[in-house]
Structure 1
Amino acid sequence: MTKRLVVVTAGLGKPSSTRLLADRLATATGRRAEADIQVIELRELANDIAQNMVTGFPSPRLRDAVDAVTSADGLIAVTPVFTGSYSGLFKSFFDVIDKEALAGLPVLIAATGGTARHSLVLEHAMRPLFAYLRAVVVPTAVYAASEDWASDGAGALAGRVDRAASELAALLGARPDRPLGDSNGPEEPGRPADVDDMAVVPFAQQLAALAVEG
């Protein structure tokens, strides 16, 4: 069955090297796994994200973007590096998403920057972010500095893109198909689709049951 792959890119320019890297990763993954690919440009949602942070209520198009991410079978997340970390726009978007909604979701992380010195942003900022969200981050993260787009660095970048795409495609292939009719993701916003419903027994009731058994 065709998987749903969502690409979130936080590039601000047009054209954007962040979007270019996102497209290369999506194309490479699509060659290895049958997937419908949807790209979400966060710069087009900047005002919606800011309003949601203030009011707590998402606009319809921000709600659609969040629903797309939380109902996806896989995610590619790409940000430019600002002040040694992911961009504020990138972080704000994932702050909007319920912290339980990405549990178990395969994620490929990537970033762009002016110099290779910022490549550690992938490990000290992005990987911990998605680990906190309990996503499954592929082993290979992809960073593209300005020199990686030149002919001398293009081959090495292509190799990293291919390796990361292969890892994401493998996770997509291993991910169980969603039941028919489950195109909108979890019934409850932010609730992972694969979490079984469990009745929550109040602690006092549990203690009372133990006392009876004793």
Structure 2
Amino acid sequence: MSLDTPDPHDSAEPDAPFRLVVVSAGVSEPSSTRLLADRTAQKVLDLLLESGRSATVGVIELGPLAVDTAQAIVSGFPGERLKNAFERIAAADAVIVSTPVYKAGISGLLKSFADILDNDLLIAKPVILAATAGTSRHAMVVDEQLRPLFAFLRALPVPTSLFAAPEDWGQAALGDRIQRAATELVLLLRSGVGRSIADSAWTGYQHQFDGNATRAEHTADDVDFTTDLMRLAAGGTA
């Protein structure tokens, strides 16, 4: 598969590196979940360099944010560390999400983080979805649980999902799948299709009020308090 495709991102900022963010829900040390994400991120970097582009990679470990996440779910207000994580995701050109599988499902830590994530942050953003587990019987968790979640978040997951059980690490097939997923992500990045979708259709999406997305512009000044609904909310009559 050739990576020599037109890159509209080049014409706007020809020297700007792509920004890649890894979100890892692994909590063990060492973490196979983080290892899978790191291998994938490195392959993306390699393919971008081969195509004449560069990228920066940042990592968001959800384990150290577990208490902050739980508090935000209860209070409805994220703390500074979570806000920083949200800002990094908002500024990213692409994301790699990797989770362990517990009790035949994705990590509750990742789901809790997604529950407080501004829905606007991932609109049309290319994403690689990955999971690790202790048995290959959980191989479909990525497509059955992660893919619907990121469809709800209006992201652009690449076609190839990644999954690794213990026996997969020494197999060439895992490397082949990482290569394929990374290639798909690079092609999406260089084509600029995600950026074009968001730029063209942004106003057509339902947005979170005063959200964290880089395109979010809704503030109190944008609210029309003269509508019937707002008068009713204020205790008046329609």
In structure 1, give the amino acid aligned to 2:181.
A
Q: Deviations over 1:160-203 (max 9, x none)?
A: 1111011011111122798xxxxxxxxx52446399xx998x99
Inter-partner Cα distance in structure 1 for 2:193 and 2:124: 12
Question: Residue 199 and residue 106 in structure 1: after superposition, are their counterparts in 2 closer, same or farther (change >3 A)?
Answer: farther
Inter-partner Cα distance in structure 2 for 1:168 and 1:149: 22
Structure 1 residue 42: deviation in Å?
A: 0.5
Aligned to 1:18: 33
Aligned to 2:183: 166
Structure 1 residue 94: deviation in Å?
A: 1.2
Instruction: Decide which of 32, 48, 55 is 2:47's aligned counterpart.
Output: 32
3-state secondary structure, aligned to 1:100: helix
Aligned to 2:23: 8
TM-score, length basis structure 1: 0.82
Q: Deviations over 1:139-161 (max 9, x none)?
A: 001000011123xxx21111111
Q: Deviations over 1:5-43 (max 9, x none)?
A: 000000010110001001000000011122110011100
* Structure 2 counterparts to residues 126-141 of structure 1, below 5 A: 126-141=146-161
Instruction: Give yes or no for contact 1:73–1:175 (8 Å, CA) kept in 2.
Output: no
In structure 2, give the amino acid aligned to 1:173.
R
Aligned to 1:91: 111
Q: Tell me which stretches of 4 or more aligned residues in structure 1 moved more than 2 Å.
A: 175-178, 188-195
Aligned to 1:46: 66
Q: Deviations over 1:87-113 (max 9, x none)?
A: 100011111111222110100000000
Instruction: Give yes or no for contact 2:23–2:95 (8 Å, CA) kept in 1.
Output: yes
Structure 1 residue 84: deviation in Å?
A: 1.2
* Structure 2 counterparts to residues 172-187 of structure 1, below 5 A: 172-175=189-192
TM-score, length basis structure 2: 0.74
3-state secondary structure, aligned to 2:120: coil
* Structure 2 counterparts to residues 193-204 of structure 1, below 5 A: 193=215
Structure 1 residue 55: deviation in Å?
A: 1.1
Counting matched residue pairs gives 192
Q: Structure 1 unaligned runs (5+)?
A: 179-187, 205-214
Aligned to 1:207: none
Q: CA RMSD in A?
A: 2.6
Q: Structure 2 unaligned runs (5+)?
A: 1-15, 49-53, 196-209, 229-238
Instruction: Give yes or no for contact 2:125–2:194 (8 Å, CA) kept in 1.
Output: no
